[in-house]
Amino acid sequence: MSKEKGHIVSEEMLYRYWAGELSESERLQITKWAQESTDHQRQLDEAQIFHLDLKALANLNQQNTHSTDQAWEQFRTKNNIQSSTNKTTPLPTLILRYAAAVLILLTVGWWLYDQPADQIQTATTLDTQELQLSDGSNITLNHHSQLSYPESFDSKERQVALQGEAYFEVTASKEQPFVIDLLYGQVKVVGTAFNIDASHSDRIEVSVDEGIVEVYTTDQSLTLHAGQHAILNAHNKSLTEEPSPSTTTHNFWRTKQLSFQNTRLSDVIIALQDSYAVRIVLDNPQLSNCSITVRFEDESLDNILEVITTTLGLSVTTDQETYTLSGDGCN
């Protein structure tokens, strides 16, 4: 357990943070804790690597019959890892050794399963990475993501495999479609620009900036055009096209840019919560209809909120991990 500045965080909480199994207040606690020191952030990053490896292994094991929660429980029991009362600060070395072992299993299992022998595996940890494939397609990998691809595309399809999140700018070729294999789905394109977020345990998100993207499961398909967004549910393997938000944030991890054009404050808040993993509330419901036009690039959340509140004539206070915007109306 790690306890500093009033925040108590166990290794199990770190794992469940990435598994999407914490309450909103617990997630905010983890986020605040990680911001307290680089060591805390390192532990959170290591937990994500472990979660991604364990999640993929669970999908390989026994024809996907075990959930990540079951896999974690089995692993914890076998290795005598206690729950939130466990008294240790960093993630145990034992966990990291097993995570490495799991990664080896993934390398010979999921990454190489039904793939040509000349596959190249590229994995990121704390930083993003830009790649250019042999066909000229450009791919940006988010942190803690993995991509498998051939040295050259010699078959009828340009096939790669992704775990985590990546932005694709695919060189057009009608004769040789570009296919991305995911843990429980597939994306096929001819030539386009889009983002795939497969870093969550419960869903995969596909957001299209240019061109046309086809998303597949074993028994369903969906065609997306520029500006459209879809979610693939991990539990029932369903595909759902989501309404295009007035402000998209799927490129924030890559560009660090947020742009609002006559955007309602309620939508601005949703975008900021998604981008910075915080909770922001309005103490006056009427403020949700205030609108603002502004653009931010690589700014801290505090600076962004200062600009917004100054522009609209509001004030901001912080209580625990919640930001509250107050005011009688908009300027």
pLDDT tens sequence across 298-313: 999 999 999 999 999 9
Residue 113 lies in a domain: no
User: In 59-93, which positions are buried (b, 16+ CB within 10 angstroms) versus exposed (e)?
Assistant: beeeeeebbbeebbeebbeeeebeeeeeeeeebee
What is the residue range of 220's domain?
Answer: 119-242
Helix (H, G, I), strand (E, B) or coil at 286: helix
**Whether pLDDT at 94 is above 50:** no
* Domain identity same for 235 and 266: no
- CATH code (residue 315): 3.55.50.30
Residue 258 lies in a domain: yes
* Domain identity same for 236 and 184: yes
* Domain identity same for 262 and 283: yes
- What string of DSSP letters covers 28-97? HHHHHHHTT-HHHHHHHHHHHHHHHHHHHHHHHGGGGTS-HHHHHHHHHHHTT--STT---SSPPHHHHH
* Domain identity same for 232 and 255: no
CA atoms of 17 and 41, how far apart (whole Å): 13
Residue 100 lies in a domain: no
Least confident of 48-52, 84-88, 180-184: 84-88
Residue 142 lies in a domain: yes
**Whether pLDDT at 323 is above 80:** yes
* Domain identity same for 223 and 160: yes
Of 209, 242, 275, the residue that ends a domain is: 242
Residue 282 lies in a domain: yes
* Domain identity same for 210 and 310: no
pTM of the predicted structure, to 2 decimals: 0.62
Instruction: Tell me how many domains the chain contains.
Output: 3
- CATH code (residue 178): 2.60.120.1440
More confident residue, 123 or 324: 324
